[in-house]
A and B are shown apart, each in its own frame.
Chain A
């Protein structure tokens, strides 16, 4: 697909914003999603997780649609917007959970920033960046959550059990990301312009 001048300019600006000092453009810069699509998806993810999480758990770990959504958004928009969206999504999750203080807010914001940063590395060369990204982001988010709970003097009981659950959730999230990208290839970036 031929790139237009606007696309080239947008891609370069996008790259410069995230990698100041470098002149090379990334392999591709996907279109940012429409905000109300993302808001609706977050609402649906929270409702689904709240209603079904214990029933779809594999070895104690439920797939986290919120993590996938935040990672996907961050991959497509960059660290700053990813972190902002992660902050909002995490705050919603804390509100729904009720007993986690601001742990998910902190952890998910960090996850959004990390996912946005990962998408500016060599992972950006593939549309499947979300798959390893989701696995790594899930683990880091879980760690950040445990740390935040500790800082709020609400340490997680049964830490070994939680660590196993985190590993499982990481694998489940990566698998779910792969399935979603296979079923809906447009999620990988319909407007992507490869170099």
Chain B
């Protein structure tokens, strides 16, 4: 039988020849790359294109494995999570407690120092304010049971706070020196000039100071010897002077040494 060339057979032949040529080219390229020691472009192209698939497959496989492992470990993880959450809460509250202790420590130490300096001083905590905010007064958590008496002086580590105006068995009211009804004998430290420190609801006014006194802004004002306080306790500093011509006395505005906005602990001085 005589073999007949058809169009189909010719295509096969071309395909075979083409394949041989491409294989030869690939082989040549690979050989050339091997000879020069560089990665062949074919290897680079194939490697790069397969890398993406490999990564995707690896991620999917890992995800499936992790999912399976997670499902298997779920009960243990739930228990562990609850345990860690409880531990976290405990650590958090301890952290807050330590922070508060750190923040309160200087104040507590300062008050303890004042109490040690003043014999018989009664340390008390501010527990309330005037509900109607009419008077500048505070309530402290020590009363007659602790030895607090009416007209006792009250100080803190910065200076004079006020005096006790009302005593109950377990609490007392303290009229702050900034209240309009408060009057404390005072001395300007620099020249020993006397005056009366009266509240203005926001600060203190030093009244009845002799016209001879050479007051200056920044002068330190301390208590004079009186019913509630012994001499020398810091009231504040002169911030403004009113020296009217022809008046019998001059007055001065005194900025209190005590920061009344953040008053927390005080010491009651028994008289």
Task: Please list the residues of chain A having a beta carbon within 8 angstroms of any beta carbon in chain B.
Answer: 46, 49-54, 57, 60-62, 64, 66, 93, 96-100, 104, 145, 156-158, 161-162, 165
B201 at the interface (CB under 8 A from A): yes
Whether A157 pairs with B179 at a CB distance below 8 angstroms is yes
Residues in B whose Cβ lies below 8 Å from that of A54: 129-130, 133
Q: How far is A57 from B168 in the complex, measured between Cα atoms in Å? A: 27
Known: A99-B175, A158-B180. A51 touches B201 (CB 8 A): no
Q: How far is A50 from B128 in the complex, measured between Cα atoms in Å? A: 5
B181 at the interface (CB under 8 A from A): yes
Whether B129 pairs with A60 at a CB distance below 8 angstroms is no
Q: How far is A61 from B134 in the complex, measured between Cα atoms in Å? A: 8
Q: How far is A97 from B173 in the complex, measured between Cα atoms in Å? A: 7
Whether A50 pairs with B131 at a CB distance below 8 angstroms is yes
Residues in B whose Cβ lies below 8 Å from that of A49: 131-132
Residues in B whose Cβ lies below 8 Å from that of A62: 132-133
Task: Please list the residues of chain B having a beta carbon within 8 angstroms of any beta carbon in chain A.
Answer: 128-135, 137, 139, 165-166, 168, 171-173, 175, 179-181, 199-201
List 26 contacting pairs A-B, 8 Å CB cutoff, sorted by A.
A49-B132, A50-B128, A50-B131, A53-B129, A61-B133, A62-B133, A66-B131, A66-B132, A96-B128, A96-B131, A97-B137, A97-B173, A98-B165, A98-B166, A98-B168, A99-B135, A99-B166, A99-B173, A99-B175, A156-B180, A157-B179, A158-B200, A161-B180, A161-B201, A162-B134, A165-B133
Q: How far is A156 from B181 in the complex, measured between Cα atoms in Å? A: 8
Known: A50-B139, A60-B201, A158-B180. A97 touches B133 (CB 8 A): no
Interface contacts beyond A53-B133, A97-B135, A99-B165: sample of 13 additional A-B pairs, CB < 8 Å, sorted by A: A53-B130, A60-B133, A66-B132, A96-B128, A97-B137, A98-B137, A98-B139, A99-B173, A104-B132, A157-B199, A158-B180, A158-B200, A165-B134
